[in-house]
Structure 1
Amino acid sequence: MLDGFVPFPPAFAAQYRAAGYWQDRSLAQEYAAVFQRFAPRTALIDAGAQGERRWTYAQLDAASDNLALNLLDLGLRPQDRVVPTLPNVAEFVILYLALQKIGAIPIAALVTHRFAEISQFTRLSQARCAVYPARVKEQGGEFRFGPMIERVQAEHPCLSLRLVLGEAGPGEHSLTELIERPATLARSALSDLTIDPADPCIFQLSGGTTGIPKLIPRTGNDYAYNSKVASEVAGVTQDSVLLLVLPIAHNLPLACPGIQGFLFHGATVVLHASTRPEPMFQLIQRHGVTHLKVVPALLIRLINDPAIGDYDLSSVQQIQSGGQRMQPEVRIRTRQLFRNAFVQENFGMSEGLLMFVRRGDPEEVLLETCGRPVCPHDEVKLIDDDGAEVPDGEVGELACRGPYTLRGYFGVPEYNARQFTPDGFYRSGDLMRKHPSGNYIVEGRKKDLINRGGEKISAEEVENLILMHPAVQNVACVPMPDAALGERMCAYVIQRPGRALTLPELVTFLQGHEIARFKLPERLEVLPDFPVSTFGKVSKKALGERIAAQLAGEGG
């Protein structure tokens, strides 16, 4: 067993096996059956800058086999950790499948992550391999990954393999070439490997409120079930077509049901890296897309784009929205424009638990709630600060356990002791209220996070960096309401005597610390002092109310 991994207790594991949730097949075995059953069907369409590239299930199997063998030849082994930071391209899917065939463990990093994050992931996981594009476009130019990964490697000698998407430079191997170059190892080298489905198959990433993201171990057993049960609730069949523009490694796009759930059913996944509305409309019309995954900010952009009436969107059957609460007005307007689509709000966490609204739920339930758990063995309770359950209808912190919810973050026993109850319930930090229907309503959170369009930003992580600025005496980062993204970050600062700070200066300073762009504050407010709570702590609640009132006044 991997050191630092917290397994499911044996009694619960036996329960989940007896109920049929866990099949004791590795993801490699799950996919092997899928590839054989659906061999001639179209599995994947990459609608990217290179023009449309297509793979059948048989071709996807062969490509991932070949890559897996070449990675074995380079020394990658079961349980080795890999940090891929790839955009929405077919090579990510081929790599993900190849790693499952080896039993290596991908870490669900994003192409938007930079040195601060990738260095942390590498250190936390002791990763052996990084996979990255040569360059990506970003505001103001382009970003080259190679020099950054070299610096990560210099800091963390465990990182011995660097794979680049495209032409390789010194010290790199080309992922493109490894996919295409015929392997010299025999196919039996893969079948000889032993992969335990009770071991981690991927590390997803927590929102993290301590400034250091936590690694979420998902096992072969629980991650396969996660995708299968989500597929049932989302109505996925072999005739379904998913358009995926959300970041590919996030839990929702990858596995809820995501790429994994659609492939399990012999369906088709269309990948695209742009969230611009018109290219999405074109792809929906061209490929008869049946399922969309969105965050509310993206959906608002789609339904307000003037080109929406120029395309036939009648194929869309289901629009799955997650990441933050959708306003009822957005749902109603979406139904008017996507006339055949069911708008399925969900609440999900990379740690496990999924809640979905269902077709047939009453209108009030659809408009007000985020759904209910997808599995009969999902155990949910709402608790107060002392761990006691609150009465139905009152607000409490969501605590949960079940067949696909983690029992501990990787390698942080002290943190786990605080985040899990003695009987194994995960304390999520989300505040909820139970609706009379049995569904749940999100009421806020205890965690100190800003939810920017579905990306969770740790306020403490950014505050710690801002405190390093010579003009800053104290700082508090709070969410400010935003019609499109739900929330943006406002940084309140107390300046040092005789010093001054502007937002552009602060942003430039933070960029020097190489954090992901989505974590940068978008407003700066200077105060002589901060409001405090009755316990003497900075009252972020008061600061949040202050900026909300200020924005409302400016809007008026």
Structure 2
Amino acid sequence: MKERYKKNLTAYEYLEGWEKVSLSEHLKNWAIRYSDRVALVDEERKITYQEMEEKVEKLARGFFRIGIKNGDTVLVQLPNRISIVEVIFALCRTGAIPIMALPAHRESEIEGIIKLAKPCAYVVAERYLGYEYLTMAQKMKEKYPCLKEIIVDGEPKCGIALRELEGEAVEFPEVDSYEPAVYLLSGGTTGIPKMIPRTHSDYMYNARMSAKRCRLDKDSVYLAALPVAHNFPLCCPGLLGTLDVGGKVVLAATTSPDDILNMITEEKVTITALVPAMVNVCMELLSFDDDYDISSLKILQVGGAMLEDTLAEKITRELPCKLMQVFGTAEGLLCFTSLNDTDEIICKCQGTPVSPADEIKIVDEEDNEVPDGVFGELLSRGPYTIDHYFMAEEANQLSFTEDGFYRTGDRAMRTPEKNIRMGGRIKEQINRAGEKIMPSEIENLLCEHPLVKEVAVVGVPDEVLGNRICAFVMPSMEENDVTHSDVQKFLRERKLASYKIPDQVIQVAFWPLTSMGKIDKKELVEMAKEREA
């Protein structure tokens, strides 16, 4: 096996916006620079930059007191509230690395992450939207000895209360900004998320280049409508990009359109990021409710899933803000349209890379570059694009070229104006409302159902979700009847995340086959289109 390509971060030190500074040090600088300006707002409180720095220092001392140290990994699963921001920065101050689990992750995903990363602690909400996270965390602690502490944001029946964590003054170790600051999570072929190591320097550069493209300044008010554990609201420009310029970050408690529109109205939000499905429901609510005032909104970023041209045109026609299309990966590359682009470009393209040092290729199946106007697979390499996944050698071999280009798995073409136009996923991965799901994970679980003989799962284009999940099931006996409710109940019992549970179930007596004798999934998609979800 050939030696893996390793990116040399020092090669990017010439770039404007690149600094060899840790996230924790950035916060200290922001507290000095922006002191009494409001930094964060959630549904319960707001804090200034100085107050945030003081809370992070106190919390970091508390983490240090209970044994969390430089190089440790800590699993963080918190919803959008000020505490998640404080936890991220406090862990970075100790030198520990937060693993950014989504609120939607359940036992199946969490267990896979723990097995891989062996975190020493697990930070959870006591409960959120009716789900008891503490119960799941306690079960994981009993099963995995690596988990020494459960830290709870709420009223814990067990574990340590986050609000009570503090300690005596301590000199924290110097953190190397070229080491991982956070581990983001990506979908994988086994259904267990792959861990994406983003360094302090590359991640802040990512945020700064995004903020520059969006023209953020101290008067900017960013609404984090999507879960902050996602790369999109965390750093594109998101939370980090807004804080870096002295703006205000508003954290929406849920992704409901009512919460989003209320926050925009009350906090005079100037920029937010949504997936297409969320845009649809927000626009529908605006059409019959006059109580919302979104006149402050200057930029609406839309990404995380393909934005249909018709919806893009509707946004530019009906909303008072500028649409900014976004293509991005948690692994790195970001492409945005620009604020001075024409509506035609904005509605049909995903723009250009945010850094002059980004390298992209669009290649055919033999890795030969294709000419402009021809679709191929998008590959990327650059200052903020990773060169490997954590502890995933098989995925690394498949996902990176010998010279360090990341295979995005997305179809793209370059227009004559050098904009990127995306063409959907190359592989079978289903992108449902911005969440990425591997069919094989659902297929494997459903094959354990006593009434099921065979299963095939496909993504089906959907006006609301982008793609809905359709499970085709062949019963083990002809007289068996496997219903949608049967499938939902079975998968919930297997602790599968709710966004991975099929939206549609179709029972079949035989499979359409390709000339190679494989199940013809293209034909299955057409069959699913003919039926209502």
Q: TM-score, normalised to structure 1's length?
A: 0.92
Q: Is the 8 A contact 2:125 2:133 kept in 1?
A: yes
1:163 paired with 2:161, answer no
Instruction: Give 3-state SS (helix, strand or coil) of 1:88's partner.
Output: coil
1:254-288 Cα deviation digits (max 9, x unpaired): 11111111111110011121333344333222221
Determine the C-alpha separation between the residues in 1 that align with 2:6 and 2:472: 42
- 1:41 partner amino acid: R
1:144 paired with 2:124, answer no
Instruction: Give 3-state SS (helix, strand or coil) of 1:409's partner.
Output: coil
- Which aligned pairs between 1:343-358 and structure 2 lie closer than 5 A? 343-358=323-338
1:189 paired with 2:171, answer yes
Determine the C-alpha separation between the residues in 2 that align with 1:217 and 1:251: 12
Q: Percent of aligned pairs with the same residue?
A: 37
The match for 2:23 among 15, 20, 27 is: 27
Structure 2 gap segments, 5+ residues each: none
Instruction: Give 3-state SS (helix, strand or coil) of 1:246's partner.
Output: coil
Determine the C-alpha separation between the residues in 2 that align with 1:332 and 1:399: 28
Q: Is the 8 A contact 1:209 1:448 kept in 2?
A: no
Partner of 2:521: 540
1:416 paired with 2:359, answer no
Partner of 1:510: 491
Q: CA deviation at 1:118?
A: 0.8
Partner of 2:355: 375
Q: CA deviation at 1:307?
A: 4.6
Partner of 1:174: 161
Partner of 1:282: 262
Determine the C-alpha separation between the residues in 1 that align with 2:230 and 2:108: 19
- Which aligned pairs between 1:86-485 and structure 2 lie closer than 5 A? 86-137=78-129, 142-170=130-158, 172-178=159-165, 183-186=166-169, 188-190=170-172, 193-305=173-285, 306-339=287-320, 341-485=321-465
Gap change, CA 1:395 and 1:333, over 3 Å in 2: closer
Determine the C-alpha separation between the residues in 2 that align with 1:168 and 1:278: 30
Q: CA deviation at 1:20?
A: 4.3
Q: Is the 8 A contact 1:278 1:307 kept in 2?
A: no
Q: Is the 8 A contact 1:208 1:458 kept in 2?
A: yes
Determine the C-alpha separation between the residues in 1 that align with 2:362 and 2:187: 20
Partner of 2:512: 531
Q: TM-score, normalised to structure 2's length?
A: 0.95
1:37 paired with 2:28, answer no
Determine the C-alpha separation between the residues in 1 that align with 2:289 and 2:338: 26
Instruction: Give 3-state SS (helix, strand or coil) of 2:122's partner.
Output: strand
Determine the C-alpha separation between the residues in 2 that align with 1:224 and 1:515: 33
Gap change, CA 1:422 and 1:534, over 3 Å in 2: farther
Q: CA deviation at 1:203?
A: 0.7
Instruction: Give 3-state SS (helix, strand or coil) of 1:391's partner.
Output: coil
**For structure 1, which segment, 347-356 or 28-37, has the greater mean C-alpha deviation from structure 2 after superposition?**
28-37
Number of residue pairs the alignment of both structures matches: 529
Instruction: Give 3-state SS (helix, strand or coil) of 1:491's partner.
Output: strand
Instruction: Give 3-state SS (helix, strand or coil) of 1:107's partner.
Output: strand
1:75 paired with 2:67, answer yes
Determine the C-alpha separation between the residues in 2 that align with 1:166 and 1:375: 41
- 2:37 partner amino acid: R
Determine the C-alpha separation between the residues in 2 that align with 1:320 and 1:451: 18
Q: CA deviation at 1:21?
A: 5.2
Instruction: Give 3-state SS (helix, strand or coil) of 2:290's partner.
Output: helix
Q: Is the 8 A contact 2:411 2:422 kept in 1?
A: yes
Q: Is the 8 A contact 2:109 2:191 kept in 1?
A: no
Partner of 1:17: 13
Q: CA deviation at 1:236?
A: 1.0
Instruction: Give 3-state SS (helix, strand or coil) of 1:488's partner.
Output: strand
Q: CA deviation at 1:308?
A: 4.7
Q: Is the 8 A contact 1:252 1:258 kept in 2?
A: yes
Determine the C-alpha separation between the residues in 2 that align with 1:342 and 1:308: 22
Q: CA deviation at 1:153?
A: 1.7
1:478-514 Cα deviation digits (max 9, x unpaired): 1122211111100011211243311111111111110
Determine the C-alpha separation between the residues in 1 that align with 2:445 and 2:184: 24
Instruction: Give 3-state SS (helix, strand or coil) of 1:474's partner.
Output: strand
Determine the C-alpha separation between the residues in 2 that align with 1:311 and 1:135: 29
Structure 1 gap segments, 5+ residues each: 1-5
Q: CA deviation at 1:7?
A: 8.3
Partner of 2:42: 46
Q: Is the 8 A contact 2:38 2:248 kept in 1?
A: yes
Q: CA RMSD in A?
A: 1.8
Q: CA deviation at 1:338?
A: 2.9
1:89-115 Cα deviation digits (max 9, x unpaired): 111111111111112111111111111
Q: Is the 8 A contact 2:58 2:167 kept in 1?
A: no
Q: CA deviation at 1:539?
A: 2.2
1:135-191 Cα deviation digits (max 9, x unpaired): 223xxxx32222221221222211111011112223x0001222xxxx3321x423x
